[in-house]
Structure 1
Amino acid sequence: MATACEFSNELNAFIDEWKTKPGNLIMILHRVQEEQGFISKEAAMEVAGRTGNPLARVYGTMSFYHFFKTVKPGKNRISVCLGTACYLKGGQDLIDECKSMLGLSGEQITTEDGLFSVEPVRCIGCCGLAPVLSVNGDVYGKLTRDQIDGVIAKYKTE
């Protein structure tokens, strides 16, 4: 049997306030992810129970919107832009290099030690600096594959 998910008092109050409002599920899921960094199975079950939504609807919403994460991100979150400009200038190459350097394979996005996660994003908003990636909100532009090592090394020592 799954253990109950513990939410903060603020999140509990938010759920109580929103559970009967239209559009509640997306708003509540955003708050859960904001608090916990991702949406665990236990959190999804708790949201389903508290809002009266079937668990399938909660998971359907989570899987439809790419923003929602079901895997705990690493301490250092590497977001690589795959918007049009970044994609055309090598954004996918940056993802491939990050994953290779960190030993990630297939669909794995978080390193075994939990220190890094790598994920594509649709746009960082720095198209003139393409290709772009950010680490914990620090933006790096006009990158090449051979510069990735230096970016990652900075966060390994912090």
Structure 2
Amino acid sequence: MPVQNNKSPSPEDMETLGNVFERHSQENSLMIYLQQIQAEFGYIPEFAIKYIAERTLFSESRIYGVITFYTQFSLKPVGKNIIKACNGTACHVGGSKVLGRKLKSYLKVDDENPTTEDRLFTVQNVACLGCCALAPAMMVNDRVYGKLNLEKIKEVVETHRRDSIDSKEDE
């Protein structure tokens, strides 16, 4: 099921946006607003773009341009765990294309909808992670995993799934 970005903001959402603007009113920086909104919501909701445009000199089209230019921003909700699947030359030779397809199949995601329904994982294809000696490789959040095969990928995913669920229960 595709994730929609056109939900109506709740009162809590609007309060969150107001707090972001209040905390950063001195900077009046689009990048800071977008980074903080991304951190709060896990993506940039459409209503946040309208909110920024109404309160700054930035047009909606300029805001969209910045969001789509920088890979750190997303217009769709992303998972708690970001999996970057390397498609560099060494990884490609090591079978990364096939492993990437199997990873996406295992998580029930695709290129159009790269985030799992439970929002625990988002799979991103990247040109190169820069760890060619470990090919094929992937990165989950800030940790690199190499010399991958399907079993190791499943083990890594399930470890992060358990850790994510455990940390949710601790909240």
Does TM, normalized by the shorter one, top 0.5?
yes
Paired with 1:88 and 1:45, the residues of 2 have a C-alpha distance of 45
Report the TM-score when normalising by structure 1: 0.77
Structure 1 segment 56-67 matched on structure 2, within 5 A: 56-67=61-72
Contact 1:95 1:119 in 2 (8 A): no
Paired with 1:44 and 1:144, the residues of 2 have a C-alpha distance of 41
> Corresponding residue for 2:27?
18
Q: Alpha carbons of 1:131 and 1:60: their partners in 2 closer, same or farther (altered >3 Å)?
A: same
Q: Alpha carbons of 1:143 and 1:8: their partners in 2 closer, same or farther (altered >3 Å)?
A: farther
What amino acid is aligned across from residue 124 of structure 1 in structure 2? L
Match among 31, 48, 52 for residue 47 of structure 1: 52
Contact 1:93 1:145 in 2 (8 A): no
> Corresponding residue for 2:116?
111
- Residue identity (%): 37
State the Cα distance separating 1:65 from its structure 2 match.
Answer: 2.4
Q: Which runs of 5+ in 2 are unaligned?
A: 1-6, 164-171
State the Cα distance separating 1:104 from its structure 2 match.
Answer: 1.4
State the Cα distance separating 1:59 from its structure 2 match.
Answer: 1.0
Contact 2:20 2:36 in 1 (8 A): no
What amino acid is aligned across from residue 26 of structure 2 in structure 1? E
Report the TM-score when normalising by structure 2: 0.72
> Corresponding residue for 1:94?
99
State the Cα distance separating 1:112 from its structure 2 match.
Answer: 1.5
Q: Which runs of 5+ in 1 are unaligned?
A: none
State the Cα distance separating 1:49 from its structure 2 match.
Answer: 2.1
Contact 2:20 2:37 in 1 (8 A): no
Paired with 1:52 and 1:83, the residues of 2 have a C-alpha distance of 40
| RMSD value, Cα | 2.6
Q: Alpha carbons of 1:53 and 1:146: their partners in 2 closer, same or farther (altered >3 Å)?
A: same
